[in-house]
Structure 1
Amino acid sequence: MEIEQVRQHVKAAWADRVLPSLAEFVAIPAVSPAYDAQWRERGHLRRAVEHVRGWIEANAPAGSTVEVVELDGVPPLLFAEIPATPGASGDGTALLYGHLDKQPPSDGWSEGLGPWQPVLRGDRLYGRGAVDDGYAPYAALTAVTAVRAAGGEHCRVVLVLEAGEESGSPGLPDYLSHLADRLGRVSLVTCLDSGGGDFERLWVTRSLRGILQATLTVAVLEEAVHSGIASGVVPSSFRVLRLLLDRLEDPATGRVLLPELNAPIPPERVADAQRLAELRPTSTLHPLSLVPGGRPAADDEAERILNNTWRPTLSVTGAAGLPDVAEAGAVLRASTSLRLSFRLPPTVDAADAAAALERVTTTDVPFGASATITDLMAQDGWCAPEPPGWLSNALESGVFEAPHQFLGLGGGIPFMQLLGRAYPDAAFLVTGAVGAESNMHVPDEWLNIPFARQVTETVAHVLAAHALQR
């Protein structure tokens, strides 16, 4: 399959068919269910799914089927099947994944831009969902048609496009179980919901951290009391919380102390971090705005990468029971709640981590105070298997001048750990069009169109290489 034929097909398809439809997709306020309690009534998620379904039906090869699958109580899922080409010698299925739900709009977009206002400026398409992850179904199907247009072969392909990824993929295990027979023997999984540090090369995600979130509440009184009466007699609930937090994290170093939340770092991932640090010495600092004089948690870039991708971390992301400072009176409050958010190493069992958190914070509480854990959410991380030789070769097909780069991500994609368990023998390619400057999840989100085209081309070469494997 000749690289220039693939390139010309992808370029034409993006200009003529992809961008007009993707711009219309951006204009749909399809906010993920976790951020829109009325998502069913509003119907925006369903509109987004139907919009993409119409485009796939109009552009898929003959013999393809496209269906909206909907289980009770969870967002719909778009499922498409594309038959193998006659000359494909492989007999497995290639599963291509993306999601159609979006982050909330957020304030602070630049003049002339807005979350539901698709704006094309040069090689950039602005708008919520452009890069996360609305481009994915368009890139996936265009990669398939590029293989055919360039005379290549591909195995049976299925597109799985969910509408709840930004909410932790509720119902996705049920969908996978429901579709298990139709998915078949999956031998290649390609996820287009990731990215990397620049637009010069293909970035391949090798690991994703898990997550553990919970609300820890400490109560010391049945009701609040004037601080002049109670202070020195009853410890404040915040003081007890501080003591409990010290059981979880070393306040000086940030090291998470619970063994169940730690895991050894494979030497290969340490080497990946060192190579990435040499390539981009300040990659972890680039998207951050430290205050004047502020310093990062580690001076060495490789250590910062490992902190962000393999070591457990704790962030306090919310609080309750604390009045605004302008309204805070002389009161010893009855209770304080903190929302704890742990990022877990890719190989840690999240259920074991959750059990350890509850045990350590609710047992032998200082001063006999009441400590409870509520709203607990735990998800495992994911670590990719070593890529087979055919996949490594396909990634160096000449689409990018610079060689591809492995990296780990500090966040998670629930779909990957589900698929990793379901298809342990499959090859995995987790990549995407997100770059360090893409503004994913924040104002001024944008898609780098030439880079997205190159990602599309690479997926086409991977599909063609996969078709030759048995």
Structure 2
Amino acid sequence: MDERAVRQKVRDLWARDALASLSEFVTIPALSPAFDGDWRESGHLHAAVRHVRSWFERRPIEGATVEVVELEGRTPVLLLDVPARSATNADTVVVYGHLDKQPAAGEWSPGLGPWTPVVKDERLYGRGAGDDGYAGYAASAALEALHAADGRHARTVVLLETGEESGSPDLAAYLDHLAGKLGKVGLVICLDTSGFDYERLWLATSLRGIAFLDLTVRVLTSGVHSGHGSGLVPSSFRILRELLDRIEDPRTGQIKLPELVVDIPGERIEEARIGAAEGFLAPSLPVVSGVRSTTDDPVELVLNNTWRTTLSVTGAEGLPSLADAGNVLRPYTSLKLSFRLPPTADASAALGAIEKALTTDVPFGAKVEIERAEAAAGWNATPRAPWLESTLDEVSAEVFGKPWRAVGLGGTIPFLGLFGRAYPEAQFVVTGPRGPGNNAHVADEWLHLEQTERVTEAVARILHAHATA
């Protein structure tokens, strides 16, 4: 393969057709179903699919077929299926992205808007440019560049869903529906994550799972004057504090339930050490002056954010505003509890342990109610094969000029867990061109164009290496 030809083709495609078409994609307000309950009637998701489908159909990629799959009652999926080219590897490659978008999310800066594409300072501004409209263009451009440079690749299927921003509720059904069509999948490339800079290739290697529930503690059928009732029955808030202390040490944050704790793999600890040594820590936060981190050890900070369970109270009811609060012993307190779980924790078992801790032997016989309890598993990448390790080293040196780095993700991305369970033996390359300040879910979202070209070139070279692995 002519690497220089790959690079030139990728640059030409992004400078001309790909950037122009992606800019048009930005104009489509293709909100995810969680934000547009009438998505079928509005037609925006289907318009986004049609737009990218048209781009795929115009690509001069030999043997490629394009198909829209839409199961009854579910959001559509767009597929670009490209047969193998001079490959000895019979496994299928799946390249993932999504076409649904987040809402506008407030006021954008002057001259910018969620549905108005603007190219400025080597950035493409607009909702969906970086999350995740670029993915389909990068995947097809990588394949087109390989064909132009006499490169190789195994059979490659680009799969673009339209429900990721809603938690990918339809993806499992599609992976099951397409299982026979896709065959044995040996490599999954997911183009929907970010890194800590725009100078190197970043790979996500794990992400935490999640469990959440609404917890209510009731002690009275109605509120009473605090002077009349306090001291006779405990406050609902006091009981809530005691229940939460069964799960988390309030001083150290240490989780007490064994179902919520795992042994952290040695390779993930080493990744945290490397990242911390180079100054790549947890995400920057708008910390109030004087507030300290949970630990002074940078490695422990990374592991806290990526491999340890954390509890956050994200909502409350039964508590009047300060201006409206009188001297009342309130009848109940409700809290929304959000647990970020370790990547390898059994999410169902963790949720069961949480519910048991909150409902067993409740102090003073108070009534405990749990509603809307759900859990989702995390994901931990399979060990990298030697061919992938060496390819990443080579691509990083020749395309980026800096070594690639791995990062754990503290959040939860359901599609990765779904792919991990569907293809447990596959190699995973989870990457993307997003980085600090790209504003994926807030105002002024933008895509770093030069980094997108480099990631596209990296994808092409990984596909080429996989073809004979």
Match of 1:194 in 2: 193
Moved more, 329-338 or 192-201: 329-338
Q: CA–CA distance in 2 between the matches of 1:223 and 1:36? A: 38
Q: CA–CA distance in 2 between the matches of 1:336 and 1:139? A: 49
Pairwise CA distance, 1:419: 1.9
Match of 2:282 in 1: 284
Is residue 303 from structure 1 mapped to residue 284 from structure 2 by the alignment?
Answer: no
Q: CA–CA distance in 1 between the matches of 2:137 and 2:307? A: 32
Match of 1:137 in 2: 136
Match of 2:387 in 1: 390
Deviations 1:54-92 (A, max 9, x none): 21122252332222222233322112211112x222211
Which amino acid in structure 2 is aligned with residue 298 of structure 1?
A: T
Deviations 1:416-461 (A, max 9, x none): 2222222222111111111122222222221110001100000000
- Unpaired runs of 5+ in structure 2? none
Match of 1:253 in 2: 252
Q: CA–CA distance in 2 between the matches of 1:411 and 1:302? A: 18
With over 3 angstroms needed to count, the CA separation of the structure-2 counterparts of 1:227 and 1:112, relative to structure 1, is farther
Is residue 53 from structure 1 mapped to residue 53 from structure 2 by the alignment?
Answer: yes
Q: CA–CA distance in 1 between the matches of 2:76 and 2:131? A: 18
Q: Secondary structure at the match of 2:138?
A: helix
Which amino acid in structure 1 is aligned with residue 407 of structure 2?
A: L
Q: CA–CA distance in 2 between the matches of 1:253 and 1:434? A: 33
What does 1:71-150 align with in structure 2 at a 5 Å threshold? 71-85=71-85, 87-150=86-149
Q: CA–CA distance in 1 between the matches of 2:430 and 2:389? A: 13
With over 3 angstroms needed to count, the CA separation of the structure-2 counterparts of 1:60 and 1:415, relative to structure 1, is farther
With over 3 angstroms needed to count, the CA separation of the structure-2 counterparts of 1:104 and 1:226, relative to structure 1, is farther
Q: 362, 369, 375: which one pairs with 1:372?
A: 369
Q: 338, 347, 351: which one pairs with 1:350?
A: 347
The two structures have a TM-score, normalised by structure 2, of 0.96
Q: Secondary structure at the match of 2:259?
A: helix
Q: Secondary structure at the match of 1:31?
A: coil
Deviations 1:181-225 (A, max 9, x none): 111111111001112100111011111111111111111122223
Pairwise CA distance, 1:306: 0.5
Pairwise CA distance, 1:98: 0.7
The count of aligned residue pairs is 466
Q: CA–CA distance in 2 between the matches of 1:41 and 1:252? A: 51
Q: CA–CA distance in 2 between the matches of 1:111 and 1:294? A: 34
Q: Secondary structure at the match of 1:408?
A: strand
Moved more, 180-189 or 237-246: 237-246
With over 3 angstroms needed to count, the CA separation of the structure-2 counterparts of 1:393 and 1:2, relative to structure 1, is farther
Q: Secondary structure at the match of 2:165?
A: helix
Match of 2:20 in 1: 20
Pairwise CA distance, 1:108: 4.2
Contact 1:394–1:458 (CA<8 Å) still a contact in 2?
A: no
Q: Secondary structure at the match of 1:51?
A: helix
Deviations 1:103-136 (A, max 9, x none): 2321243222222222211211112221111111
Moved more, 382-391 or 21-30: 21-30
Match of 1:67 in 2: 67
- Unpaired runs of 5+ in structure 1? none
Pairwise CA distance, 1:155: 1.1
With over 3 angstroms needed to count, the CA separation of the structure-2 counterparts of 1:442 and 1:231, relative to structure 1, is same
Deviations 1:318-344 (A, max 9, x none): 112222222223332222211111111
C-alpha RMSD of the superposition? 1.5
Pairwise CA distance, 1:96: 0.2
Match of 2:403 in 1: 403
Moved more, 368-377 or 326-335: 326-335
Q: CA–CA distance in 2 between the matches of 1:230 and 1:223? A: 11
With over 3 angstroms needed to count, the CA separation of the structure-2 counterparts of 1:341 and 1:25, relative to structure 1, is same
Q: CA–CA distance in 1 between the matches of 2:287 and 2:450? A: 31
Moved more, 389-398 or 375-384: 389-398
Contact 1:60–1:82 (CA<8 Å) still a contact in 2?
A: no
Q: CA–CA distance in 1 between the matches of 2:50 and 2:63? A: 20
Pairwise CA distance, 1:251: 1.2
Is residue 2 from structure 1 mapped to residue 7 from structure 2 by the alignment?
Answer: no
Match of 1:324 in 2: 321
Moved more, 374-383 or 65-74: 65-74
Q: Secondary structure at the match of 1:352?
A: helix
Q: Secondary structure at the match of 2:468?
A: coil
With over 3 angstroms needed to count, the CA separation of the structure-2 counterparts of 1:181 and 1:147, relative to structure 1, is same
Of all paired residues, the percent bearing the same amino acid is: 56
Pairwise CA distance, 1:463: 0.5
Q: CA–CA distance in 2 between the matches of 1:255 and 1:110? A: 42
Q: CA–CA distance in 1 between the matches of 2:222 and 2:38? A: 35
Q: CA–CA distance in 2 between the matches of 1:340 and 1:39? A: 30
Match of 2:273 in 1: 274
Pairwise CA distance, 1:237: 1.7
